[in-house]
A = this chain, B = another copy of it.
């Protein structure tokens, strides 16, 4: 019977890796013998297991081993990854290996190299000469590049739960309950922000227009002013609503201060777009003194980098908007390096798009009043995502208060 020996290392008990591996083996028709098992006695101690896996068919065994690798299993005698050339620009070879957002290594003949970036739903382009392995999207692949095919020689290192329970990302894990008290969680998030700020980590905020609708722009502006936002990803709508608010005091014709409808209110939205188009963009409008407040103004004044990605429901759009979806993806990916925290607020489209681009190690906070959105975003199978079902304005007010008090 075909068999392979795998090894598991790390917090394989309390990260539930060992039982998942045994479960996979049995579920997929294999059998196992545990050759050796050493279970760390303390929480900080690593455990180790060596397991012989048998399967009636060699093909099924390959499949099974592939699945076990996703849990961090290493095959004792490693074989090199197989490579094949991309048959055309924008096309991967058949049987290309599909990446996850976890740390991944490729075994080549002369050693193992790490894949960069940790980008999901890509293929791995290997340059044996340069000793690089690059996660590559469909739209970037060039004919003839060497791409990993099959699953041999791939090692995935799943994110392991840290041994300290100190932080909110572990404590909360996937907790999106509407009914929980949020004050304690917001306090923890504030602490994470401050830690990231002190350690020069990059904080990315992904924001939808609800930040403006709900009247939360002023809090957000404070965060930007204090240096707690290092990168903003949004769409045309956020920027237009923000600028409409800055220029006319309304958002889609609703006076945010008074909560009442403006005369001719809906026109303000269109006029705000026209003002910025006429000025040639947001930065020129800030420079010329046309735009004197708001989120976008604060970004420009504080040199916060932003990407505005277009969508088919945009009005205008503003000149700053990248209307091509692939160009927008590229622009976002380029700026992501160094991001340690991503906070996503009030937008499903942009949040999912950004979520697809983030490595598993980035700590992600998803805030939305719609539990469906939070569930979709928070439930990404890592220990690193917090979901909060709450109203954006009070959330941002409290977060800003917490950070402000501690400055």
Interface status of A57 (Cβ within 8 A of chain B): no
Q: Mark A34-63, 1 if CB is under 8 A from B, else 0.
A: 100101011100000000000000000001
Known contacts A19-B19, A22-B39, A311-B312: does B182 contact A391 (CB below 8 Å)? yes
The distance from the CB of A121 to the nearest CB of chain B, in whole angstroms, is 5
CB distance from A87 to the nearest CB of B (A): 7
Partner of A13, one of B19, B67, B260, B269: B19
B312 x A350 contact (CB < 8 A): yes
Contacting pair A43 B19 (CB below 8 A): no
**Alpha-carbon gap, A293 to B98, bound state (A):** 25
- Say yes or no: is A316 at the interface (Cβ < 8 Å to chain B): yes
0/1 per residue, A197-216, Cβ < 8 Å to B? 00000000000001001110
CA distance A33 to B45 in the complex (A): 13
Q: Are A184 and B257 in contact (CB under 8 A)?
A: yes
Stretch from A75-83, A110-118, A271-279, A334-342 contacting the other chain? A271-279
Interface centre among A22, A67, A313 (most CB of B within 10 A): A313
Nearest CB in chain B: distance from A76 CB, A: 19
A-B contact pairs, 14 of them (CB 8 A): A13-B22, A26-B43, A27-B43, A91-B278, A96-B270, A96-B274, A139-B316, A179-B210, A182-B391, A183-B393, A311-B312, A311-B349, A313-B352, A314-B325
New A-B pairs, 4, CB < 8 Å, besides A121-B269, A184-B257: A178-B372, A180-B254, A370-B372, A393-B394
